[in-house]
Amino acid sequence: MEFTAETIAGFLKGEIEGNPGVKVNAVAKIEEGHEGALSFLANPKYEQFLYGTKSSVVLVNKSFVPSGPVNATLIKVENAYEAFASLLRLVDQARPRKQGIHASSVIEPSATIGGKVYIGALAYIGENCIIGEGSSLYPHVYIGDNTTLGKNCILFSGVKIYHDCVIGDGCIIHAGSVIGSDGFGFAPQSESEYMKIPQLGNVVIEDNVEIGANVTVDRATMGSTILRKGVKLDNLMQIGHNVEIGENTVMAAQSGIAGSTKVGKNCMIGGQVGIAGHIKIANGTKIGAQSGLLSPVKQEDTIILGYPAIDMKQFYKSSVIFKKLPELSTKVDSLGKEIELLKKK
Under 8 Å between Cβ of 131 and 143: yes
Backbone torsions φ then ψ of 321, nearest 5 degrees: -70, -40
- Among 107, 104, 271, 260, residue whose Cα is nearest residue 185: 260
Measured torsion, CA atoms of residues 120, 126, 127, 129, in degrees rounded to the nearest 10: -70
Buried b vs exposed e over 66-92: b needs ≥16 C-beta within 10 Å? eeeebebbbbbbeebeebbeebeeeee
Active site residue 34: no
State the catalytic residue, choosing from 140, 163, 174, 241. Answer: 241
Largest CA distance in the chain: 96
SS3 call for 257: strand
Positive or negative, the CA dihedral 106, 112, 118, 124 is negative
CA distance 239 to 273: 12
Under 8 Å between Cβ of 22 and 57: yes
Stated as kind and residue range, the H or E segment containing 81 is helix 80-94
CA distance 33 to 149: 41
β-pair partners for 17: 74
Residue 214: Cβ-neighbour burial (10 angstroms; 0-12, 13-18, 19+): middle
Amino acid present at 118: Y
Residues with catalytic roles: 241
